[in-house]
């Protein structure tokens, strides 16, 4: 059975050939599948990028908090010549990060010329996990000018 289809103006019809009746439906379905596939791919890409950027931001914030705690620990050692002597520990908390510091062997000990420079190791952590380790030397110039200079001798970022 052949169907008639309007062509042009009123009342004009042409007969469809066998096999043409579902071709436009198939083209529309293929186009819909293509659009849905592209849309899903774009949404997946955006979702992954948002999660990745959130992760990078969190890591950067944790490292920055640890670096700030390290600066605070150095400032404490620089201002107080009794801090960071041989085996003594001190803790500094700053912006949610903790710096646990220990004076290294021979640090700040009395020597013939006054006192030795203090060498201190600090481990900075955020939310209980270690983020940064530093070792630094506080030049006390034999005790005559405590905290005159600070030299960071080791800095290690934990992964």
Per-residue pLDDT of the chain (159 residues; tens, 9 = 90+): 555 555 555 666 666 566 666 788 889 999 999 999 999 999 999 999 999 999 999 989 999 999 999 999 999 999 998 898 888 999 999 988 999 999 998 888 888 778 889 999 999 999 888 889 999 999 988 878 888 899 999 999 887
DSSP conformation letters of the chain: ---EEE-SSTT-EEEPPTT-TTHHHHHHHHHHHHHHHHHHHHHHHHHHHHHHHHHHHHHHHHHHHHHHHHHHHHHHHHH-TTTT-BT-EEEEEETTEEEEEEEPTTTT-EETTEEPPEEEEEEEEETTEEEEEEEEEEE-GGGTSTTSEEEEEEEEE--
Output the pLDDT for position 144.
Answer: 83
Provide CB contacts within 8 A for 155, sequence distance 6+. Answer: 132, 133, 134
Provide CB contacts within 8 A for 52, sequence distance 6+. Answer: none
Q: Closest Cα to residue 15, out of 2, 24, 27?
A: 2
């Amino acid at each position: 059975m052949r169907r008639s289809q309007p062509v042009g103006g009123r009342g004009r019809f042409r007969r469809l050939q066998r096999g043409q009746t579902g071709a436009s439906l198939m083209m529309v379905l293929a186009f819909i599948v293509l659009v849905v596939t592209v849309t899903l791919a774009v949404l997946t890409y955006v979702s992954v990028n948002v999660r990745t950027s959130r992760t990078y931001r969190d890591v950067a914030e944790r490292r920055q908090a640890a670096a700030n705690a390290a600066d605070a620990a150095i400032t404490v050692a620089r201002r107080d010549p009794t801090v960071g002597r041989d085996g003594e520990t001190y803790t500094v908390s700053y912006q949610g990060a903790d710096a646990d510091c220990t004076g290294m062997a021979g640090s700040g000990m009395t020597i013939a010329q006054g006192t030795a420079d203090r060498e201190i190791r600090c481990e900075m952590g955020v939310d209980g996990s270690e983020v940064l380790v530093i070792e630094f030397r506080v030049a006390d110039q034999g005790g005559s000018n405590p905290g005159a200079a600070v030299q960071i001798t080791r800095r290690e970022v934990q992964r």
